[in-house]
Structure 1
Amino acid sequence: MHLDTTPLLGAGLPVTDFAPVLAEEPGPLLFATVSGAHLYGFPSRDSDVDLRGVHVLPAEDLVGLRDPEETRSRMWNRDGVEMDLVTHDLRKFVRLMLKPNGYVLEQLLSPLVVHTTALHAELTARAPDVMTRNHAHHYRGFAGTQWRLYERTGELKPLLYTFRALLTGIHLMRSGELVAHLPTLLGEVATPAYLPSLIEAKAEAEHGAAGAVDGAVAARDVEALHAVLDEARAASRLPDTASGFDALHDLVVRARLG
């Protein structure tokens, strides 16, 4: 399937580097996209490239005696850039989709696509069926984990991850649309005025210190966004539970048997 590589080039990614690596995978890939800082809109010059996707195990791997390789992971260095690829078997990925798991939806809906198929498009079309009000809990929890990491380290990366998670959750609750790109989300609510300068600082170093903002000020702003997320969840028109189970089941069966 033809890919529009404009988003990849805009994210500063080496588009032509991915095909040979993906060709080494032991089985068919349904899709592979870029996640992490490139997707979130604040990669550094020394950022790793995080590839995420879905593979499809043959039926015999699931009905035989051997444990199926439901998750595959490998890392490599290309031209001085650290890269890693993590893929889940389609059944495992869809089961994660049916939970309030924003992380797998971000991988599925990432505009930074390095490999796609017709089934990827079909799976993407089903994503709205699994978005629920309870995804707010996912983003609240992820933001909390990153905030605690920032408190321990004082690093810029987890601070930006905190703000990104909260703003993604707020936007999802309000619009039913999943947007993971922090610069795009800055107009979502009255965001702190220092965020653009933090994004610029992150471009210089992956693990730089968050020296441009006072920790107490950041804590106040993060707490305020948690409150906005809670309000957005309470007012959201998203359903309480995911739908589309039968359609997703049929998709997995067709992919496996096909």
Structure 2
Amino acid sequence: MKTILKTLVGSRAHGLHTEKSDYDYRGVFVVPTSEILSLGYKEKATSWLEGQGEDATAYELHHFLNLATHSNPSILEVLVSPVVEETIEGRALQELFPALWNSKDVLNAFGGYSANQRKKFLEDKDGRPWKFAAAYVRVLLLGIELLNTGKMNVNLNVQEAALGSAGINLGNFAGGLRDYIYSIKTGNGIKKGEVVDWAEYLSGQLKEAYERNPNKVTDVERVNDFLLKARKANW
């Protein structure tokens, strides 16, 4: 199999890291078409490595595109995160980003991911509620940005500037966006009710953004054309 794209994700991409933070990566690989068409082939949808301060998850191209066309936030984020390794095909995959997502799935997938993180936050899952609190609000910000601007910025300082330029009101919070979410992530001087109230406001902003842009659809023909070319090129 061949890696075509590898990007830095997690706290180091968001600007929320410390010196001790792990390096988290996600990538996309292509299994040779001849192997896929061979008898006895067992699908290799994902691969995962962990150890020595580094976590890496990668997805086979077909599986990745299937998730991306359903606007999976963790998958779409791969395409807009800092690049560690890429081929010409990987660069073309990044350029496919506008064709992949659709308005309805962004509303449902980003909202659903946020609800899942909210549940973990309020249940104090794994004794790390504030980690889930940060994810709870951050994914809502990504969805709001995507539906309003057609783009996503994973670095919170860059995202705050982009949302400000688009005239998006993020509500009232102390300090800059990155610093506030860092305070949430560490639980420093933040109450749970404060996080929930802000997230409820952001959820409303996500729904309003969808109502302004309800008809953006996935360009399935363009995505399939990309996949077919990749299969032919990686026989």
TM-score range, shorter chain: 0.7 to 0.9
CA distance in 2, matches of 1:117, 1:191: 40
Give yes or no for the alignment of 1:242 onto 2:192. no
- Map 1:103-252; keep pairs closer than 5 Å: 103-110=74-81, 112-134=82-104, 135-153=106-124, 155-186=129-160, 187=164, 188-194=168-174, 196-201=178-183, 208=186, 210-236=187-213, 239=216, 241-243=217-219, 245-252=220-227
Greater CA drift, 130-139 or 165-174 = 130-139
1:131 and 1:176 in contact (8 A); partners too? no
Q: Is 1:89 the counterpart of 2:60 in the alignment? A: yes
Deviations 1:135-178 (A, max 9, x none): 12211111111122221226322211122111111111111112
Could you tell me how far apart the structure 1 residues matched to 2:131 and 2:172 are? Answer: 16
In structure 1, the residue corresponding to 2:103 is in which secondary structure?
coil
Aligned residue identity for 2:225: D
Q: Tell me, what secondary structure is at the counterpart of 1:73?
A: strand
Identity of matched residues, %: 22
The residue that corresponds to 2:8 in the other structure is: 34
Q: 1:149 to 1:100 in 2, by over 3 A?
A: same
Equivalent pair of 2:15/2:156 in contact (CA under 8 Å): yes
Q: Does 1:49 align with 2:19?
A: no
CA shift, 1:237, in A, is 6.0
The one-character-per-residue Cα deviations of 1:72-128 (angstroms, maximum 9, x if unpaired) are 111121xxxx21111111111112222122221110221x11101111121122210
Q: Residue deviations 1:196-252, cap 9 Å, x none?
A: 5444557xxxx74x141122222211111111111111112651x311x23322322
Distance in 2 (CA, whole Å) between partners of 1:225 and 1:247 is 32
Distance 1:238 1:123, change over 3 A: farther
* More displaced 10-residue stretch of structure 1: 97-106 or 185-194: 185-194
Q: For the Cα contact (< 8 Å) 1:51–1:86, is it kept in 2?
A: yes
- TM-score, structure 1 length as denominator? 0.77
Question: Match of 1:254?
Answer: 229
Query: d(CA) in 1 for partners of 2:83 and 2:101?
Result: 21
What's 2:45 paired with? Answer: 70
Tell me how far apart the structure 1 counterparts of residues 201 and 51 of structure 2 sit (CA, whole Å).
Answer: 40
CA distance in 2 between counterparts of 1:113 and 1:238 reads: 30
SS at match of 1:109: coil
Distance, in Å, in 2 between the alignment partners of 1:173 and 1:76 is 36
Q: Aligned partners of 1:41 and 1:236: how far apart in 2?
A: 29
Gaps of 5+ in 1: 1-26
Distance 2:19 2:46 in 1: 29
Relative to structure 1, the CA distance from residue 236 to residue 223 in structure 2 (aligned partners, 3 Å threshold; closer, same or farther) is same
